[in-house]
Amino acid sequence: MMNQTILLNPGPVTLTERVRQAMQREDLCHREPEFAELALNIKARLAKIYPEAAKDYEAILLTGSGTCAVEAMLSTLVPQDGKALVVTNGVYGERMAKMVTAHGKPLEVVTSQWHEPMNLTEVENRITRDAAITHVIAVHHETTTGRLNDVAKLGQICKHQNVALLLDCVSSFGAEAIEFDACNLEACAATANKCLHGVPGISFVLVKRSVFDSRPSAAASVYLDLYPYYKEQQQGYSPFTPAVHVSYALHEALIELEELGGQIARYRHYHTLSQKIKQGLKQLGIETFLDEQDYSVVLTSFNLPANTTYEQLHQFLKKNGFVIYAGQGGFKRSIFRIANMGNIQSDDIERLLNCFHQLNQRS
């Protein structure tokens, strides 16, 4: 396709042609064995993106956006008589605290400002003080700012204190490293249309299989209860209508990921792109919002230059074929974000930098 707009927002992503074409395959009834085979194939591929997870974790497919998977994870796995400790430093951590509150489950929240790292000292203190805490809940890559949270350290605390960790990996799964055993990770939630380069409509939760045998579901919800999905998906079926054509696309995107070298290769590709973006903008005097070493390879946030508004910048880039992303909340007018997930190559980034250069010369 000529002159396709490049999406630099954190999902949905610019698709490759093969993933787009995959949606054109034959219509399928989800109660037929052809669909079951497709679903089982996707589940197997998702579970082995991280080799460490392949044996003990089950990928449970849901039809819904990333938030659907996150809410299903919290709804099903945080016990009504347990207690959650939610660690927040951005929109997505705060959203999970809202979910646990909405589910009427006991929780504590350790809040940091959006520009700050997670407060791990406070996390450790709270767990030590309060034996009722059963689950720690956090965001791996906080897309609000682009910070890659120190989940390895948080996980060490969880492992040491024998508390389960639940992670929102919606914007990191498939690109950033995830440690499963060392973090005492019980489950993580993710989506088809961020670092996996699929189409929006399917999300999933990787859950430690032993959970299903050791305790009942905690879900006070029908659609978001992972247990019936777990049971029916053993044979590839789903309790509700799954997004069939989106499944084709995800299947193709997973094969493509494997052919390109899997998560480690995707990490390296993103690293190259994000470095290029950071260095290019730095040369034009545009500074990162966080310290450079705090970022994921997936998304970078920048301070908006004094000579432009976000709207002006966004419109100029959009006219030139690039969609960037605004800041959220209090940072709406002071930062902008550039994600590099999806079908994006180095020459796209060179064209992007060229646009920034033009903008700089005009003002």
Ligand X SMILES: *Cc1c(COP(=O)(O)O)cnc(C)c1O
Nearer CB in complex with ligand X: 134/149 = 149
Q: Measured between alpha carbons, how far is 53 from 9 in angstroms, rounded to an integer?
A: 28
Q: Measured between alpha carbons, how far is 191 from 168 in angstroms, rounded to an integer?
A: 10
Q: Measured between alpha carbons, how far is 148 from 107 in angstroms, rounded to an integer?
A: 24
Q: Which of 299, 268, 305 is nearest to 285 (CA)?
A: 305
Nearer CB in complex with ligand X: 70/253 = 70
User: Between the CA of residue 173 and those of 140, 196, 240, 253, 296, what are the distances in Å?
Assistant: 9, 7, 25, 13, 12
Tally of CA atoms within 13 A in the half-sphere of 262 that contains its CB = 9
Min dist CB 339 to ligand X, Å, is 9
Min dist CB 242 to ligand X, Å, is 16
Min dist CB 170 to ligand X, Å, is 4
Instruction: Give me the residues that bind ligand X (CB under 6 A), please.
Output: 10-11, 65-67, 70, 92, 139, 143, 168, 170-171, 191
Min dist CB 318 to ligand X, Å, is 21
Nearer CB in complex with ligand X: 237/325 = 325
Nearer CB in complex with ligand X: 170/290 = 170
Min dist CB 343 to ligand X, Å, is 18
Q: Measured between alpha carbons, how far is 361 from 129 in angstroms, rounded to an integer?
A: 57
* Angle (nearest 5°) at CA 75 between 47 and 65: 60
Min dist CB 361 to ligand X, Å, is 34
Min dist CB 12 to ligand X, Å, is 8
Min dist CB 211 to ligand X, Å, is 21
Phi, psi for 127 (deg, rounded to 5): -65, -40
Phi, psi for 53 (deg, rounded to 5): -85, -15
* Angle (nearest 5°) at CA 175 between 350 and 50: 155
Nearer CB in complex with ligand X: 83/194 = 194
**Residue nearest to ligand X as judged by C-beta position:** 66
Nearer CB in complex with ligand X: 10/198 = 10
SS3 158: helix
Helix (H) or strand (E) holding 164: strand 164-168
Q: Are 46 and 58 spatial neighbours (Cβ–Cβ below 8 Å)?
A: no
Nearer CB in complex with ligand X: 11/236 = 11
Nearer CB in complex with ligand X: 237/295 = 295
